């Protein structure tokens, strides 16, 4: 198996694992995801789908660069979403916006563009820290994982032409 296919496969599997953990936290631990959390899940899906398609196609040269570049887009979007939620979590209690309706209600009631706009604004539920591991909240871990995915995508974008040097065989 080629190096680039292994990298894309590992990234796709990591995204599946992250989404599995998110579903576990929601359905087993009872943590209610806020609208920003749901958008971050969609960004993980985007990274995972691009990585999976690239792994299945097994590109080389320009294809590796294309796969890496396409993977960077949802990773950067997720990075921005996680950063926004971390900012909301850092606000003093008196500056936290009031809680709004849940994501399911928004999705069923409003058009997608309005749902995204309201989710990006964030609300009190997005500022709540429901879980931590090693001192990082859920969006903190998402931020780290999106940063790693973006760096991997940039790495694949940059070294995609490394095949001629024997680096990606």
Tell me the whole-structure pTM to 2 decimals: 0.79
| Spatial separation of the C-alpha atoms in residues 31 and 22, rounded to whole Å | 9
Mean pLDDT of the chain: 83
| Spatial separation of the C-alpha atoms in residues 10 and 5, rounded to whole Å | 9
- The CA-based angle 128-133-139, given to 5 degrees, is 45
| Spatial separation of the C-alpha atoms in residues 139 and 78, rounded to whole Å | 10
The CATH homologous superfamily of the domain defined by 3-165? DsbB-like (1.20.1550.10)
**Interaxial angle between packed helices 35-57 and 138-159, expressed in degrees from 0 to 180 and rounded to the nearest 10:** 30
Instruction: Give the domain ranges of the chain.
Output: 3-165
Confidence at residue 14, expressed as pLDDT on a 0 to 100 scale: 95
Each residue's pLDDT tens digit, 52-64: 998 888 777 777 8
Which position has the higher pLDDT, 150 or 105?
150
Q: Which H or E run includes 135?
A: none
> Quick check: 158 pLDDT over 70?
yes
């Amino acid at each position: 198996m080629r190096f680039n296919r292994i990298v894309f496969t590992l990234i796709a599997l990591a995204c599946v694992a992250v989404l599995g953990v998110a579903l576990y936290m929601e359905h087993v631990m009872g943590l209610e995801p806020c609208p920003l959390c749901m958008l971050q899940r969609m960004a993980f899906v985007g990274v995972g789908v691009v990585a999976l398609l690239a792994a299945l196609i097994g590109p080389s040269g320009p294809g590796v660069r294309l796969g890496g570049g396409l993977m960077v887009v949802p990773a950067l979007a997720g990075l921005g979403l996680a950063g926004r939620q971390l900012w909301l979590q850092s606000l003093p209690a008196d500056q936290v916006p009031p809680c709004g309706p849940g994501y399911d209600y928004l999705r069923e009631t409003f058009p997608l563009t309005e749902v995204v706009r309201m989710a990006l604004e964030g609300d009190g539920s997005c500022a709540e820290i429901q879980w931590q591991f090693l001192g990082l909240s859920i969006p903190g871990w998402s931020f780290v994982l999106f940063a790693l995915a973006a760096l991997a995508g940039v790495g694949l974008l940059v070294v995609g032409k490394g095949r001629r040097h024997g680096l990606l065989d």
